[in-house]
Each structure stands twice: as structure tokens, then as C-alpha cells.
């Protein structure tokens, strides 16, 4: 048997997590830990590219850790860790930055969008964000990266960085693995309930149109009752029916049905009220056990720290080997032969 499939994904600790995060990312994590060797990184260093309150950042990290565990991540079946606990990420970022063209980083959509919105400072960290993201993945030689559709550009960059490194320094072997992205077919882009032409997002979306994972049941029902729909009465997906299309895909994603099956179920519906009610109840049912487990976990910050520390120790064992190979290939630090000889002296 060959080596197990290695899967890596990172998630920002900031902002309240919503239904789009769960369907587009967290649920993929649950499948990944059953599929192979899965690593999930809470990327607190990435969060620093925009201003953060230090106390809120740490609190948000605990919120997310508890939420991931409550959703079903099992530290015995995956590696869950905090990015800043593994210094190999930042060193590898610098090494890879020296192989990455500046112009391409300046053209990245996320850099351009956030630069426009920045009120105080457009940091160099924001420019280097995609390189650190590449280091996050390449440090573990992950073959698969579960991501949302909006991350396609960043995945292509990290693939190109890996190819460039291997072509220049790999000689007769592949030092870095060129990863593949995995995007869910249904629910890859959960849209805002009030602005169905825009993605549901942690920042910049509408409060009424964003279903947060910790929203109480009545709040969830209210948000779906007020969801913007479209003209007509047919429950079908169509480019001119973004609101109804979004509701159909949310119901399909939360119940495991195909969108076509949802359309068939509502073929005789004489409006959208029944669809809204059904989607709301499906989401409430989905989130109820997660919310209950979260309440049990969140207060034990010492226990959460122990889980993160244990994950970081396991992550470092993998990342340190990759970094050693990269250093050797690039001629950074003492050669391995010299290091082995010096360690044997005495």
C-alpha cells in the first residue's frame, strides 16, 4: 500500500463563522479526516494582514477551535493546530517569496480588493499573503486542498511556485508536491439571503442575510422567512432567479439531496413560503448538535490549548522535514553531511 492521501486546509480565526463556511469548508474537513491524513490549520498569522485587537484575536481563535471540534473534527483522526505555533511556515514563506514574481502578487484579486478597502495601512503582509498560504500547504506536501471557489487563484499560484521550485532545485526528484484543489459541487458558494448575487461572507455582507452557525433557531427561521426571492412562483434554479437558486442549493447541501430532487419536491408549490420554511428547519436541525457541543467546549480554554499544542507538535514533525529538504536544495544553512558529522563529534 502507498502513503495515505494528505489533505491540508487553513481557516481564518476572525469573524463569526456562517453557513457558507460550514458547507463550503468545515463539512469538507469532516470528510477529509475519514479519507486520509488531514491537517487543519487555524491561520492566525494571516489574520494580521489587517488590524486586529490582540485580545479579540485570541478569543476568536478559541471560538473557532471549539466550533471546529463541535462540528466533528477529532484530534485523534486529524491534526488541528495554530499556524503561529509552527515557525516552519514563516521561514518557508520567505524562501518561496524569493521565487515569486512581484507583479503577479500585485495583480491578485484579494490584494487589489483589500488594498482599496484598507483605511490605515496597505501592508507588505497583505501582498505576501498568498505566498504564506502556499507555504502553509507546501510545508506538508499535501496532495489535496479543500477550498472555496474564491481561492482558485491562490491555489494556482501555489501550484506554480511548487513547479518553479522543483524545476530549479529539484534535480532528479520532486522536492515539493504540486497540490490539487477540491471544491464542493453543491454549496461551493452560499449566497447572502438579502443579496443573493453576493457570496455570504464574514465581513461586508448583510446581517439579515448571513446565517451564523451560532444563531438561535428563531433567528435562523426569521432570516429565511425574510430571504429575498424572485418574481414568479416556480421553484427552479435559473440565472434570473438567484434568490430561489440559493435556497434550493442550501436545502440540497444541508439534506444531502441533489438540487434536481429539491426542484422535483416543490414542483407543485404555489410560492416560496414552503421552500423558505423547509430550508430554515433543515438548517436549524443541522446546527442544533453543533451549538450544544460548542457550549460544552468553549469554556475550557486550557483544554483547547492542549489540543492545539498537541496538533502543532505533530505538524512540526512533518513541516521540519520539508523545510530541511528545501534548505538543502537551495543551499541554505550547513550541508546535511556537515551537520551529521558535527552532531557525531564527541
Between 92-101, 215-224, 333-342, the lowest mean confidence (pLDDT) is in: 333-342
Residue 197: inside a domain = no
Give me the mean pLDDT over the 24-53 stretch: 92
Name the nearest CA neighbour of 16 among 210, 166, 208, 156: 210
- pLDDT, tens only, 91-106: 999 999 999 999 999 9
C-alpha cell at 20: 457558507
324 shares its domain with 227: no
Residue 253: inside a domain = yes
Helix ranges (DSSP H) in 144-216: 152-169
**310: pLDDT confidence band, cut at 50, 70 and 90?**
very high
96 shares its domain with 174: yes
Q: Which residue has the higher pLDDT, 204 or 231?
A: 231
pLDDT reported for residue 216: 98
101 shares its domain with 162: yes
Q: Into how many domains does the chain fold?
A: 2
311 shares its domain with 281: no
168 shares its domain with 316: yes
Name 210's Cβ contacts closer than 8 Å, sequence gap at least 6.
18, 19, 192, 193, 200, 201, 223
The model's pTM is 0.89
Beta bridge partners of 82: 42
249 shares its domain with 111: no
337 shares its domain with 284: no
C-alpha–C-alpha distance, residues 50 and 47, integer Å: 6
Which of 280, 296, 312 is the endpoint of a domain?
Answer: 296
Residue span of the structural domain in which 223 resides: 217-296
Please report, for the domain that includes residue 316, its CATH number: 3.40.50.620
Number of Cβ within a 10 Å radius of residue 204: 11
46 shares its domain with 117: yes
256 shares its domain with 167: no
Residue 210: inside a domain = no
- pLDDT, tens only, 48-70: 998 899 999 999 999 999 999 99
53 shares its domain with 133: yes
pLDDT reported for residue 138: 98
Name the nearest CA neighbour of 26 among 83, 68, 80: 68
Beta bridge partners of 7: 38, 144
Please report, for the domain that includes residue 254, its CATH number: 1.10.240.10
42 shares its domain with 141: yes
Which run of H or E residues covers position 151? none
Beta bridge partners of 181: 145
Contact between 203 and 190 under an 8 Å Cβ cutoff? The reply is no
C-alpha cell at 164: 518553479
228 shares its domain with 279: yes
Residue 332: inside a domain = yes
Q: What is the DSSP string of 295-315?
A: HHHTT-HHHHHHHHHHHHHHH
Residue 1: inside a domain = no
Give me the mean pLDDT over the 123-151 stretch: 91
- pLDDT, tens only, 148-162: 677 888 999 999 999
- pLDDT, tens only, 169-218: 987 789 999 999 887 665 567 999 999 999 898 777 789 999 999 999 99
Q: What is the DSSP string of 93-137?
A: HHHHHTTS-HHHHHH-HHHHHHHHH-SS---HHHHHHHHHHHHHH
Residue 11: inside a domain = yes
C-alpha cell at 156: 494556482
Residue 88: inside a domain = yes
Amino acid at each position: 500500500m502507498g502513503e495515505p492521501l494528505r489533505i491540508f486546509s487553513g481557516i481564518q480565526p476572525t469573524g463569526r463563522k456562517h453557513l457558507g463556511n460550514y458547507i463550503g469548508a468545515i463539512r469538507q474537513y469532516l470528510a477529509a479526516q475519514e479519507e486520509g491524513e488531514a491537517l487543519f490549520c487555524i491561520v492566525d498569522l494571516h489574520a494580521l494582514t489587517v488590524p486586529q485587537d490582540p485580545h479579540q484575536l485570541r478569543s476568536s481563535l478559541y471560538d473557532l477551535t471549539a466550533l471546529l471540534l463541535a462540528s466533528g473534527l477529532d484530534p485523534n483522526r486529524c491534526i488541528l493546530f495554530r499556524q503561529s505555533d509552527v515557525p516552519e511556515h514563516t521561514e518557508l514563506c520567505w524562501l518561496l517569496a524569493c521565487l515569486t514574481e512581484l507583479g503577479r502578487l500585485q495583480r491578485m484579486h484579494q490584494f487589489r480588493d483589500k488594498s482599496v478597502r484598507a483605511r490605515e495601512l496597505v501592508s507588505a503582509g497583505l501582498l505576501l499573503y498568498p505566498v504564506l498560504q502556499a507555504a502553509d500547504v507546501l510545508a506538508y506536501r499535501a496532495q489535496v486542498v479543500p477550498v472555496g471557489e474564491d481561492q482558485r487563484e491562490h491555489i494556482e499560484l501555489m501550484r506554480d511556485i511548487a513547479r518553479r521550485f522543483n524545476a530549479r532545485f529539484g534535480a532528479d526528484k520532486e522536492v515539493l508536491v504540486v497540490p490539487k484543489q477540491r471544491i464542493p459541487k453543491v454549496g461551493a458558494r452560499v449566497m447572502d439571503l438579502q443579496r443573493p448575487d453576493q457570496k455570504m461572507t464574514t465581513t461586508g455582507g448583510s446581517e439579515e442575510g448571513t446565517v451564523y452557525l451560532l444563531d438561535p433557531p428563531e433567528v435562523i427561521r426569521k432570516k429565511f422567512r425574510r430571504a429575498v426571492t424572485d418574481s414568479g412562483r416556480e421553484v427552479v434554479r435559473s440565472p434570473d432567479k438567484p434568490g430561489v437558486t440559493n435556497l434550493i442549493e442550501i436545502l440540497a447541501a444541508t439534506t444531502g439531496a441533489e438540487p434536481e430532487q429539491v426542484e422535483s419536491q416543490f414542483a407543485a408549490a404555489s410560492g416560496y413560503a414552503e421552500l423558505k420554511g423547509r430550508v430554515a428547519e433543515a438548517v436549524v436541525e443541522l446546527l442544533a448538535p453543533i451549538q450544544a457541543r460548542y457550549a460544552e467546549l468553549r469554556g475550557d480554554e486550557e483544554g483547547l490549548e492542549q489540543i492545539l499544542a498537541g496538533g502543532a507538535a505533530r505538524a512540526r514533525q512533518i513541516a521540519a522535514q520539508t523545510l530541511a529538504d528545501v534548505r538543502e536544495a537551495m543551499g541554505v544553512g550547513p550541508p546535511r553531511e556537515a551537520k551529521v558529522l558535527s552532531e557525531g563529534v564527541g
